């Protein structure tokens, strides 16, 4: 079965501190992994995907197949990073996304 | 390019009624997916349409149905509404081209069932 687990519903850090949002998945095969972000009063949007191995807005995420994890990291949090973050997976070639429950990240000034 | 649009944005219905939600994908996108978002269950996949054909369906009862038109616009219908159907319904479109095949989400339709 496909499943995505985000263990933290809420995460609060101070501005300038490092932040890590955890994501673990279960999937029999090689899925595509994503992080989506939803800022206040904005639509859900793609933040980054594992296949591109890019850094967006200072965020990076590394796929660890051994630990079946795809944690999102940023070395220095900014206030504008406050948002809801969703980890998601999908089978290669498919459209159906399986989402985690989301983590609400709050950056304190 | 205009983004994914959904109408109406807000809807209030009573139990037992039916409702139709509409989604207009980004121009040129032929794949449309629907998701239900609730505080308890989070984001759950409803179905996906491509070229007027349903390609995948989530684990929802038959009261939830959809369709896609030749211009790629999609509608979803929920019949015999229940209180638990209150949710934000999101639509996403994709061109299915390129390696990344990104899905773009609409703002959602918030359905309240009284």
Chain segment B6-23, per-residue pLDDT in tens: 999 999 999 999 999 999
Question: Residue A43: how many CA atoms within 13 Å on its side-chain side?
Answer: 19
Of A8-12, A46-50, A75-79, B30-34, the one with minimum mean pLDDT is A46-50
Contact B42 A100 (CB under 8 A): yes
Residues of B with CB below 8 A from A94's CB? 56
Q: What angle do CA B95, B30, B10 make, to 5 degrees?
A: 105
The answer to whether the CB atoms of A95 and B31 lie below 8 A apart is yes
pLDDT digits (tens, 9 = 90+) for A10-31: 999 999 999 999 999 999 888 8
Candidate from A43, A46, A101 with C-beta closest to B42? A101
Q: Which helix (H) or strand (E) element contains residue B66?
A: strand B64-68
- Dihedral angle over CA of A2, A103, B57, B36, nearest 10: 160
Distance CA A1, CA A16 (A): 38
Tell me how far apart the alpha carbons of residues B104 and B102 are, in angstroms, rounded to a whole number.
7
- Closest CB from A88, A95, A98 relative to B94: A95
Angle ∠(B85,B21,A84) on CA atoms, nearest 5: 65
User: Is the pLDDT reported for residue B101 higher than 90?
Assistant: no
| Nearest-CB residue to B105 (from A45, A96, A98) | A45
Q: 């995420």: which residue's tokens?
A: A61
């Amino acid at each position: 079965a496909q499943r995505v687990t985000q263990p933290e519903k809420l995460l609060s850090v101070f501005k300038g501190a490092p932040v890590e949002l955890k994501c673990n998945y279960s999937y029999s095969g090689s899925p595509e992994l994503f992080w989506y972000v939803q800022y206040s009063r904005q639509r859900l949007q793609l933040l980054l995907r594992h296949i591109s191995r890019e850094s967006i807005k200072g965020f990076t995420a590394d796929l660890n197949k051994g630990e079946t994890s795809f944690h999102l990291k940023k070395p220095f949090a900014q206030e504008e990073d406050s948002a809801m973050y969703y980890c998601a997976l999908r089978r290669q070639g498919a459209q159906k996304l399986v989402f985690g429950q989301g983590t609400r990240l709050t950056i304190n000034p | 390019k205009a983004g994914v649009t959904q109408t109406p944005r807000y809807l209030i219905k009573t139990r037992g009624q039916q409702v139709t939600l509409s989604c207009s994908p980004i121009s040129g996108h032929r794949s449309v997916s629907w998701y239900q978002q609730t505080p308890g269950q989070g984001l759950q996949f409803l179905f996906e349409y491509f070229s007027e054909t349903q390609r995948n369906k989530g684990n929802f009862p038959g009261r939830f149905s959809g369709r896609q038109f030749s211009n790629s616009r999609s509608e979803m219908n929920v019949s015999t509404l229940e209180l638990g159907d209150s949710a934000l319904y999101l639509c996403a479109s994709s061109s299915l081209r390129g390696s990344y095949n990104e899905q773009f989400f609409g703002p959602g339709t918030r359905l309240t069932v009284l």
